[in-house]
Every structure is written in structure tokens, then in C-alpha cells.
Amino acid sequence: MVSLLKRARVFRMALGPAIALFLAFAALLPAHATEGTEVFADPSKIAAIGGSITEIVFALGEQDRLVARDSTSRYPEAALKLPDIGYMRQLSPEGVLSVNPSGILALHGSGPKEAVDVLKKSSIPFIEVPERYDNQGILEKIHIVGKALGTEAKADALAAQTDAKLKAAEKQTASIKERRRILFVLSIQGGRLLAAGSDTAADGIIKLSGGINAIDGFAGYKQLSDEAVITARPDVILMMNNAGRATADDELFSNPAVASTPAGAARTLIRMDGGYLLGFGPRTADAIHDLAVSLYGSQVAD
């Protein structure tokens, strides 16, 4: 109880006095009965948090149920017409609740934790969707979203279609013997690369596309030392083309450590849309194919 109250006090300093009373009151409430629910009692006005969640709702043909989306939900284009309740990792309770949703459907990892704790203790049902960076994780998301909306038959059909496409995409690189080493770079900060290790969407998509993650010594994202970059020996550097301040090619390849790698020497860089590449949703099979073609060209089977 004391811990909850401390978090509420810290969080309300950032949000301002307008929500201070609400936060203080919410911190005293027991966990709401709808936290952890699997099916929305009223799925007519859903706030979707997480790009893949929004994509799945649209793929199910249930987009009319959406009253808001987070800023990572940029596909399909029609989603941009929905009110934007903020970046999924920097949510504010009043922003989410301002759209008066009948339910909140949020991808695991939404935050900050203080904001999510408040939302879970509100009177609005909150369903959290797990995130796994493999084929089964995508199918699980589809089934959970479909069940939450009461459209399980549609979800079964979408999952079957997606599963077939994912399996076909993986088969396209099954015969490739020499796998390329891929270094996913999120950004360059102070001359150091922020790169993806294991247990990340980047690691998952690299493996599904027939590549090898050049980084295997840590989980998550971490700044690399020059020695670590050189030791990784990437054949290819992979980046998002829409990640805030985009790193210019010259900035990347002028980095001494990068220049010392096979990828740097050949200036081999692949850029892809972040939501498409790392979303792990209905479009992931296409992303796997596109990345595989960029990596292996004509070696990719039809």
C-alpha cells in the first residue's frame, strides 16, 4: 500500500494537479475485478494500445469498435483517423480515459508501470496481450484479441491464414546454407551503437528471415563498445527508416568500429519501416519475405 501511494505521488507530479485526486484515490483501491479478464462485457468502444493490436483488430474487420489508438498504431492508414492517446510506453491515465472506452486492449510492455497500474484499477476492463517474437506469439495475439472482442470464429480464420503464410515465408530460406550475420542498430548515441540482443523483436525477425543475430551476449537493447561491434562481425546492418532522428548512412559508416566490420567495408545496410519489420502481427510473413529477399536475393525460394 505504501509503495502504491509513493508511486502515485511521483507520477502525479509529472501529470499535474488535475489528476492528483484521481491517482491518490486509485492507489487506495483494490485490484479491479475486470483486471485479467479475457472477454470484454462491452466491446463497443475499445482503446487499442500497440501497433500489432490495432492491426489485428482491423484484420478481423472489427475496426468500428475502436475509439482510440496509441501513436505506434500507424497501419492501416485508416487507423490514423482515430484519436491518438500517446506513445504506448509513455501513457497517461487521463489521456486513455478521456476517450471514454468500454475496454482497454494493451500490448504487454505498455507503460509506464504507474500509469498502467492506475488504468488496471479503474472501472474500465483492461486486457493485456502477451508479446512473443515468434510465429506462435503472433497466433496467440490474434486469438486473445479475437476472444476479447467476442469474435473467436474470425480470429480462428485469421490465425489459420497467418500461420500458413508464416510457415511458407520460413520455408523460403530453409535451403540457404551460409547465413548472414545481422546487426540491428536502433540508434547511434555519442558515437556508440544501441543494438538489439536476444529477446527482442529485432532478434526474432532476423532469425525468422534466415539470418543470425550478430549479438548474442545479452538480452534487450544495449550500447555496444567498439570492441563488441568489431567482434560481432556483421555482414549486414539492419535499421528502421522511421525511428525519430534517422541516422544518416555516412554517420553510420564513418563510425570506426562499424568501418572495421564486413558490413562497414561493403556499406551493406538495410532499412525497413519499424512497424512493418518489428510489429509481429498479420503482416509479419510479408516482412519476413522482404527481409529475406534483401539478405539473400535470388537464393530465396518462390
Instruction: Report pTM.
Output: 0.85
Average pLDDT, the chain: 89
pLDDT in tens, 231-269: 999 999 999 986 555 678 888 999 999 999 999 999 999
pLDDT in tens, 275-297: 999 999 999 999 999 999 999 99
* CATH code for residues 2-165: 3.40.50.1980
The answer to whether residues 93 and 23 touch, using CB atoms and an 8 Å cutoff, is yes
208 Cβ contact list (under 8 Å, min separation 6)? 134, 135, 166, 169, 170, 284, 288
Fold match, 2-165 / 181-299: yes
- In eight-state DSSP terms, residue 18 is G
Least confident of 36-45, 46-55, 147-156, 231-240: 36-45
Predicted local distance difference test score (pLDDT) of residue 80? 98
The answer to whether residues 45 and 24 touch, using CB atoms and an 8 Å cutoff, is no
Q: Which CATH number fits domain 181-299: 3.20.20.140, 3.40.50.1980, 2.30.30.100, 3.10.150.10?
A: 3.40.50.1980
Res. 270: pLDDT tops 90: yes
Q: Which of 56, 46, 45 is nearest to 275 (CA)?
A: 56
Long-range contacts of 59-66 (CB under 8 A, 24+ apart): 59/142, 59/158, 59/281, 59/282, 60/145, 60/146, 60/149, 60/151, 60/154, 60/155, 60/158, 61/154, 62/149, 62/151, 62/154, 65/149
Domain boundaries, the chain: 2-165, 181-299
Predicted local distance difference test score (pLDDT) of residue 189? 87
